[in-house]
Amino acid sequence: MHETTLLLIEVGALLLGMSLLGRLALLIGLSPIPFYLLLGLAFGDGGIFPFDASIEFLQTGAEIGVILLLALLGLEYTASELFASLKSARKPGILDGLLNALPGAGFALILGWGPVAAVALAGVTWVSSSGVIAKLLRDLGRLSNRETPAILGVLVIEDLAMAFYLPVLSAIVVGVSLWQGAIAVAIAVAVVTVILYIALRHGHIVSRLFPADHAEPLLLGVLGLTMLVAGLAQEVSVSAAVGAFLVGIALSGRVAANASQVLTPLRDLFAATFFVFFGLTTDSSGLMSMLLPALLLAAITIVTKLITGAYAARRAGVGTLGQWRAGFSLAPRGEFSIVIAGLAVSAGVEPAIAPLATAYVLITIIAGTFLARLPDATWFRAAVRARQQRARLSA
């Protein structure tokens, strides 16, 4: 069978399966993310019937999905709101790094993998998945919630921290000189600074580039600028997600509102592709050996993320339920964790990091998807109210 024909069949079958699973998720009131992951696992490495012809096509779609998720999330907020959330999230960001990187580093040392593997695994457990969390917040209708800016503040600080961490990790695992590592960090920081400055100070000028009332040039222009900035950011070891998010922040007024409308269908398509692709590229047969260690590490770091999110929301003046929502929402890890593990394994640091990181990411995504819904449950709200009443009586 011709390769293009096979690609069309595979992509068509996946899209149809995603549609049916998405409808099932709606019927039972759950996020479709776990279903997309399981669909990918079923047809990925070690699955029922591996899909090989469409991997490269789906990889590109997955990357676009993360970019669009963060770009449209940025469109929901203004530059001043971003600046305020970054200022308020400074201390939670430091706490986040300490609480969530140390378990990974300690785990690697306990397993006897050495200090370089400890630095890599610290990054795997540290950074939450902006793409997964952005979709969770949208699926649960929480984009306008009071705790959402606190969540975004932590995510943006994490992604910006990757501008420092990834060049340093590359220098450590590849063995380049300290000077080369310092140059890479300096370039990354300079690019982030320029993008932030343009977004915060000259966003109104960027908005004037696009016609708010004409869908086609608006769609092409905003999508083109978003992908261009994301690509340039990634080229200098800055997260493409950060670049896309800041483009969304830079746009304002009717341009931002109308761009959100025209880009939403594309985001839904490519975001779903991101989760399916993650499952497709996961070797399900290699996960079993690292399942128990990954479960233990996930349990520890879901609790540490809960502490981080609750602290960030509390500093923002959010109530108890909002603190729980923020903490559980930060649980999923994703794209960065896989990139970090792949970088370490390709440099010959420790082969077992790959299956551990993959199992860990899958567990945190699936668990986080369900845990994020807990604060909305009637019994959970009742338990929180009862605890608050007991606290007031004892005081």
The pTM is what? 0.75
What average pLDDT score do residues 81-92 get? 75
CATH architecture entry for 60-394 = Up-down Bundle (1.20)
Q: What is the pLDDT of residues 30-84, one digit of tens each?
A: 678 778 878 888 887 766 777 777 888 888 888 898 888 878 877 877 767 667 7
Q: What is the pLDDT of residues 201-253, one digit of tens each?
A: 777 788 888 888 888 999 999 999 999 988 887 777 666 777 887 788 888 78
Q: Which residues contact 345 (CB under 8 A, 6 or more apart)?
A: 351, 353, 354
| pLDDT over 90 (residue 276) | no
In the prediction, which pLDDT does 1 show?
63
In Å, what is the CA distance from 312 to each residue of 6, 147, 177, 381? 48, 8, 37, 20
Percent of the chain whose predicted confidence (pLDDT) is above 70? 90
Q: What is the pLDDT of residues 300-358, one digit of tens each?
A: 999 999 999 999 999 988 988 999 999 999 999 977 787 788 778 777 788 888 888 88
Structure-token pair, residue 146:
């009071």
What average pLDDT score do residues 187-207 get? 75
In the prediction, which pLDDT does 140 show?
87
In the prediction, which pLDDT does 181 show?
63
